Amino acid sequence: MRFSRPGDAVASTACRIHLVRHGTTRMNLENRYRGRREVPLDNQGWADARAAGERLLGAELTAVYAGPLRRTLDTAYVIAKRNGGVPVYPLPGLVNLDYGAWEGLTSQEAMERDPRAFRLYREAPELAVCPGGESLLDASDRILIALEAIARQHQGQSVVAVTHAAMVRLAVARITGRLGPDWRIALPTGSITVVESSEGELSVPLRANASTWILDLRGLDSRQAAGTTSG
C-alpha cells in the first residue's frame, strides 16, 4: 500500500472516493458499539442519508459501494437514488469493525470490563484487539484493500463508499500516518470524507475535507505521510 503526501497533485486518472458514515441509529444515540449487529436507521438516520445525497449532487458519481449491513445499504440506496440512480454494490470489506465482546456496550462499560484492551483501543490502535473480535490493524488493512479495489475499477471517476465511523477513522489514520492516540477524529453521522487514489497511491486531500472534520495534516513530514504500514 502506498500513500501520497497531502497536497500532492492529483492526476486526471485519479479516483475520488467519498467515504460516507451511515446515518444515525438508536444505538448511536445510546453511544453503544454497534459492530456487526443489524441496527436500522432511525428517522434522523434517513434524514442524514438524504442530506449526504444532496451534498454529493454535482460530484458526477458513477457508483455507490456499501458495507453489507442494512444501515449502510439503506444510506447507499438513498444517496444513489438522489444522484441519478447510479448502481449500488455491497462490498464486504466495508463492514464495521468486529467489536466482539464489546458489541452492545457503551465505552464506559467496555473500559470497566477490559481496561487494558480499552486503553490500547483508545491510545494505540495498531496494537489493539477487541476482546473476542477483530484487531484494529486487520480492520485498517481491510478498509484500505477495499478502497484500492474500488479505485482500480473507477480510474478517473467519482464514487461513494458507505461505511462506519471506526472504518473511516482507521482509513484516515493509516493514510495520514496517524495511527495513534488521535486516530478517533470527530465524524458526524452522514458525514463525507474524501480519499483520492492516483497511480496506486491513497491520499486524504486537505481542501476537500476542510468542511467535514478538523485535522491539521500540514504538520506531517513527508516520511509520515508517504510511509507504508504493513499488516
Angle at the Cα of 224 from the Cα atoms of 223 and 230, rounded to 5 degrees: 100
* Closest C-alpha among 51, 32, 47 to residue 96: 32
pLDDT grade, residue 95 (50/70/90)? Answer: very high
Helix, strand, coil tally for the chain in percent (to 5): 40, 15, 40
Top pLDDT among 166 and 226 is at 166
Q: What contacts 116, CB < 8 A, 6 or more positions away?
A: none
Domains observed in the chain: 13-199 (3.40.50.1240)
State the Rg of the chain over Cα. 17
pLDDT at position 222, please? 30
Residue 227 has a pLDDT of 30
* Rounded alpha-carbon distances, angstroms, from residue 219 to 124, 127, 194, 209, 222: 20, 24, 19, 16, 9
Q: Is the pLDDT of residue 37 over 60?
A: yes
Phi-psi map region of 215: left, alpha, beta (phi>0 left; psi -120 to 50 alpha): beta
Residues 128-157 have pLDDT tens digits of: 999 999 999 999 999 999 999 999 999 999
Structure confidence at residue 212 (pLDDT)? 56
Distances (CA, A) of 181 to 85, 119, 123, 140, 217: 40, 10, 4, 15, 15
Q: At residue 173, does pLDDT exceed 80?
A: yes
231 pLDDT higher than 50: no
Q: Of all residues in the chain, what percent carry a pLDDT higher than 90?
A: 78
Mean pLDDT of 88-101: 98
User: pLDDT tens digits for 4-14?
Assistant: 433 334 457 89
CB atoms within 10 A of CB 40: 13
- For residues 210 and 59, which has the higher predicted lDDT (pLDDT)? 59
**What pLDDT was estimated at residue 23?**
97
- Mean pLDDT, the chain, rounded, equals 87
pLDDT at 103 exceeding the cut of 90: yes
pLDDT value at residue 179: 84
> Shortest CA distance to 72 belongs to which of 55, 92, 87?
92
Query: Can you give the pLDDT at residue 207?
Result: 67
CB 22 within 8 A of CB 162: yes
Tell me whether strands 15-21 and 158-163 are parallel, antiparallel or unpaired: parallel
User: Rounded to whole angstroms, how far apart are CA atoms 181 and 41?
Assistant: 30
DSSP-derived pairing of the beta strands 2-3 and 158-163: unpaired
* Predicted pLDDT of residue 17: 97
Whether residue 50 is predicted with pLDDT greater than 70 in this model: the reply is yes
Kindly report the pTM of this predicted structure.
0.86
- Helix and strand numbers, DSSP H then E, in the chain: 9, 7
